[in-house]
Amino acid sequence: MNEDHSPAIRHAKILVAGSGSIGRRHMRNLHGLGAERLFAVDPDPERLVPVKEELGVIDFSDYSDALEKVRPDVVFVCSPPVYHVQQTREALQAGAHVFVEKPLSHDFKHVDDLILEAKNSHHIVQVGYNLRFHPGFRETARLLSEGHIGRVLYASAHVAQYLPDWRPWQDYRLSYTARKELGGGIILDASHEIDYIIDLLKKPVAVACMAGTVGDLQVDVEDCATILLRFSSGAQADIHMDFLQRDYARSCRLVGEKGTIIWDYGAAQVRLFRSDSEQWQTIEVSCDPNDMYVEEVRDFLACILQGRNPLVGLEQAALVLKTALAAKSAAEKGIMEKLQ
């Protein structure tokens, strides 16, 4: 969808389920893209106040009631993960296209049913792995696909940030990230890294993991995890994630037969080393952090208008979820889990 704020977005009825930080971000971005018929639903009326005052959205407290009365063209599911599958299914049954936030769910129950329902409905369902739209990831993927480092031998990804700093305006103990019953924990919440590593290296076949609650934050979920993956190509990957580190860090390293690619999110750089030149090349990839959220919504709306598949659809998100759940199981059992 272009910047001309076409009538398609202006006149579409868009319902956002969940008015937490990501729900409010999507509503502001949709408004900025030209959406004029925005609706929001959240059982907590206090969380609806900012978007009602700022954007003039029409609010509801009950999701089913909102679907029935609004009859939306598009639904954004931004509730805690335990509600994602059911709310997405209800939106599809109401005739809407759906953007559902990551992770797809907290378990695999009814995920296959959702995938089948989406196919039969012929509606677009996109999952919110927004890092795919970051210029740093896109540059990394381009360099890899063009063969600059040859076959990947191993990859290493790292993401860390102190949980109370994620959403400073909120008591971190109330966030879904900190609460097992809402589908929290660092493995599911930081599954962006699992998603993009799978996108780069393709089919994972085995996973091992060490995870647990090692810090002093008041949470009942794992706050630190290191995941080891083996891929059908023979490549390996390690992914470290935690919400304990006091400074923010996010990076990815790909080591290939002919060189190395390093994406440093914080430095806004992608660096390429090629064995033939024995030199490093630095590519600047700076952007406003909100840009990737705007781009993923713009692409989702374009998929609806053009009838094309989204960049991150249900099948990919289901594979990410399966891998994340296998990692959690491997950590609990102290074994390596095979992935079918």
The domain limits of the chain are 7-130+293-312, 134-287+321-338
Distance CA 202, CA 310 (A): 17
Q: Residue 294: what are its φ and ψ, rounded to 5°?
A: -65, -45
The per-residue pLDDT for range 279-336, each reduced to its tens digit, is 999 999 999 999 999 999 999 999 999 999 999 999 999 999 999 999 999 999 999 9
Position 1 scores a pLDDT of 38
Instruction: Provide the CB-side half-sphere exposure for 246 (13 A, CA).
Output: 1
**In the predicted model, what is the mean pLDDT of residues 230-236?**
98
Residue partners of 140: CB distance under 8 A and separation at least 6: 200, 252, 254, 261, 263, 270
- The three-class DSSP label of residue 46 is helix
The one-letter amino acid code at 195 reads: D
The first and second tokens of residue 230, run together, are 């083996």
Four-way CATH pick for 7-130+293-312: 3.30.70.3040, 3.40.50.720, 3.50.30.50, 3.40.1010.20: 3.40.50.720
Q: Could you tell me which of 333, 338, 331, 321 has the C-alpha nearest to residue 198?
A: 321
Q: Could you tell me which of 181, 173, 228, 239 has the C-alpha nearest to residue 205?
A: 228
Position 133 scores a pLDDT of 98
Position 7 scores a pLDDT of 76
The per-residue pLDDT for range 195-229, each reduced to its tens digit, is 999 999 999 999 999 999 999 999 999 999 999 99
Q: Could you tell me which of 197, 210, 211, 203 has the C-alpha nearest to residue 253?
A: 197
Instruction: Please check whether residue 220 is in contact with residue 214, taking contact to mean a CB–CB distance below 8 angstroms.
Output: no
Position 2 scores a pLDDT of 42
Instruction: Please check whether residue 187 is in contact with residue 227, taking contact to mean a CB–CB distance below 8 angstroms.
Output: yes
Position 340 scores a pLDDT of 80
Confidence of residue 4 (pLDDT cuts 50, 70, 90): very low
Distance CA 242, CA 162 (A): 8
The per-residue pLDDT for range 77-92, each reduced to its tens digit, is 999 999 999 999 999 9
pTM, rounded to two decimals: 0.95
In CATH, what is the architecture of 134-287+321-338?
2-Layer Sandwich (3.30)
Query: Does residue 128 register a pLDDT over 70?
Result: yes
DSSP state for residue 183 in the 8-state scheme? T
Instruction: Please check whether residue 301 is in contact with residue 3, taking contact to mean a CB–CB distance below 8 angstroms.
Output: no
| DSSP for 285-299, written as a single string | ----TTHHHHHHHHH
The one-letter amino acid code at 270 reads: V
